[in-house]
Amino acid sequence: MLIGKLAIFGVGLIGGSFALASREAGRVSEVVGVGRSAENLRAALELGVIDRIAADAADAVQDADLVLLAMPVGQMAAVMTQIAPHLKAGTVVTDAGSTKQDVVALARQHLARHLEWFVPGHPIAGAEHSGVKAARADLYRGRNVVLTPLPENVPAALERVDAAWRACGANVSHTSAANHDSVFAAVSHLPHLLAFALVDDIAAKANAEELFHHAASGFRDFTRIAASSPEMWRDISLANRDALLGELDAYQAQLARLRTMLENRDGAGLAQVFGSASQARRKWGMEKQF
Amino acid sequence: MLIGKLAIFGVGLIGGSFALASREAGRVSEVVGVGRSAENLRAALELGVIDRIAADAADAVQDADLVLLAMPVGQMAAVMTQIAPHLKAGTVVTDAGSTKQDVVALARQHLARHLEWFVPGHPIAGAEHSGVKAARADLYRGRNVVLTPLPENVPAALERVDAAWRACGANVSHTSAANHDSVFAAVSHLPHLLAFALVDDIAAKANAEELFHHAASGFRDFTRIAASSPEMWRDISLANRDALLGELDAYQAQLARLRTMLENRDGAGLAQVFGSASQARRKWGMEKQF
């Protein structure tokens, strides 16, 4: 048993799946849950995701070996403030936020005396469903988890978080918070913004019904991510504003370039861009085996 | 038997599936195939997609009740020129091109004496695979087929094409070629261009490998269409240039609007756009049952 007590703040898809996977791997003896919705916590208890509902934040982190902050990033500051006075040396804290520089900034502000033991993290395992009922022990199997360690971290803290995610079946890598945010601005945040923009564009047209009627499977795939939570993506966009603006500018320049080719009927130019994209996408698709 | 002889020009996924579905519905007595690849035609013969390989274009359309032009749009003018001298009244010709105004223009030029019997069409059934080996009798079941009849069309011609697609299980609708091209610029051609642009953008970066490594399922869905044939999408983009430029301009304006919101940290504005997109996408997703 490498983790005696595990405390999960926000027992939804992400936190719940981490608890289930850790339990299945035989790595935890007790899982306690904390959250704003009593109903959700009762469901987590009934589903066997947690062993008990913590009385409060202090009770949750008391003697915990690992604390996972898996609630929406909007609640991060409040939860950090609540737990800070009760954290002791040796209690490792990690999070599951989609952006990292903002979480690091909050930790520096609210967990200043506990930075040795706070290891920021991001499991890359979104899913179409959310909530504890969607939690699965295998959610992280083969998925990537990116940790962005702080210079203050003691090796033991990093090792514990690393081992916990590996036990869930995840591939763990480390990078800086700034590089993390720049990478995910490109491969996740920008695509979400583009998909939201396209669907809103079409939904606002006078013939929206006709347009959606004729939309087929390519459109379905392209826009699936536009069904994601608007609040969550607003928060992510604002949290990673600078990197996302940079990616958006580069993308707009690329679109302007394609527009010029189209206007000039430059078939060779279009074929070159489409061809390099198609080749890169096929290569990636094969490597990822889907 | 409503169609005695069916001639398919371009026996690939689209033409082959039409042949298989028509045969399964018991609507054809003979299917002849024409194409540039002898190897592909032999495969079509072996798979039972066609009954025989036509000696030439004249042989193919001789006494045919229905001719389907399903080769790439780039070959449309050449094939029309080849068949024009051999077409007789009563031989209905239709096509499967992704754009319609350009096909209509070619027909007015090359099939001028046969316009009563030429019914432009577009089956909306792309697939990740192509070629006759990917052909399936159920490809069109529940899919949309859009016909853009000419004012010259005799009712019998339109009825025959209509009935043939319905027999394949498709939902057939009619509109003008201009409206067709405007609708598909929005829901198909623009999304393809956006996906190609994004993947090319990422593939060209110095840290492309790292970026693709961290790309997850949302990125997979968003960019799946970027693995499509570059040549086909170059041709479609050029064929539907004007409508696509219009959609691209509207989209760029939408992106500029979102950029301003992001720059101004306008969370309410972002949530409004994301929310209306998410709601529209979920509604469409439920209606389409995926």
Q: Are B148 and B37 in contact (CB under 8 A)?
A: no
Binding-face residues of B in 208-227 toward A, CB within 8 A: 208, 210-227
Share of chain B residues as helix, strand and coil, in percent rounded to the nearest 5: 60, 15, 30
Alpha carbon of A257: minimum distance to chain B alpha carbons (Å): 10
Nearest to B285 among A187, A227, A251 (CB): A227
Distance linking the first and last C-alpha atoms of chain A? 36
Binding-face residues of A in 124-153 toward B, CB within 8 A: 124-126, 143-144, 146
- Rounded Cα distance between B117 and B94, Å, is 8
Long-range CB contacts (< 8 A, 24+ apart) of B204-211?
A: B204/A276, B205/A186, B207/A183, B208/A280, B210/A183, B211/A183, B211/A186, B211/A187
E-only strand ranges, chain A: 3-9, 28-34, 52-53, 66-69, 92-95, 118-119, 121-123, 144-147, 171-174
CA A98, distance to chain mean position in Å, is 4
* DSSP secondary structure string for all residues of B206-250: TTHHHHHHH--HHHHHHHGGGGS-HHHHHHHHHHTHHHHHHHHHH
Interface test with B, best of A262, A279, A283, A286 (most B CBs within 10 A): A262
In the three-class reduction of DSSP (H, G, I as helix; E, B as strand; rest coil), residue B3 is classed as strand
Q: What is the mean pLDDT of residues A7-18?
A: 97
Nearest to B254 among A201, A235, A278 (CB): A201
Alpha carbon of B141: minimum distance to chain A alpha carbons (Å): 13
Interface test with A, best of B98, B228, B234 (most A CBs within 10 A): B234
- pLDDT of A289 > 50? The answer is no
pLDDT category, A1, cuts 50, 70, 90? Answer: low
Q: Does B105 lie at the interface with A, CB-CB under 8 angstroms?
A: no
CA B242, distance to chain mean position in Å, is 18
Global pTM reads 0.90
- Give residue-wise pLDDT tens across range B171-221: 999 999 999 999 999 999 999 999 999 999 999 999 999 999 998 888 988
- Rounded Cα distance between A14 and A64, Å, is 19
**Residue B115 backbone dihedrals phi, psi, to 5 degrees:** -65, -25
pLDDT category, A271, cuts 50, 70, 90? Answer: very high
Q: Are B118 and B97 in contact (CB under 8 A)?
A: no
Q: Does A255 lie at the interface with B, CB-CB under 8 angstroms?
A: yes
Amino acid present at B76 = M
- Report the phi/psi class of residue A236: left, alpha or beta, with left for phi > 0 and alpha for psi in -120 to 50: alpha
Exposed/middle/buried for residue A38 (C-beta within 10 Å: 0-12, 13-18, 19+): exposed
- How are beta strands A144-147 and B66-69 bridged, if at all? unpaired
pLDDT of residue B288: 61
- pLDDT of A233 > 80? The answer is yes
**A chain contacts of residue B211, beta-carbon cutoff 8 Å:** 183, 186-187
Tokens of B271: 């949530």
In the three-class reduction of DSSP (H, G, I as helix; E, B as strand; rest coil), residue B144 is classed as strand
Q: Are A101 and A238 in contact (CB under 8 A)?
A: no
ipTM associated with this complex: 0.89
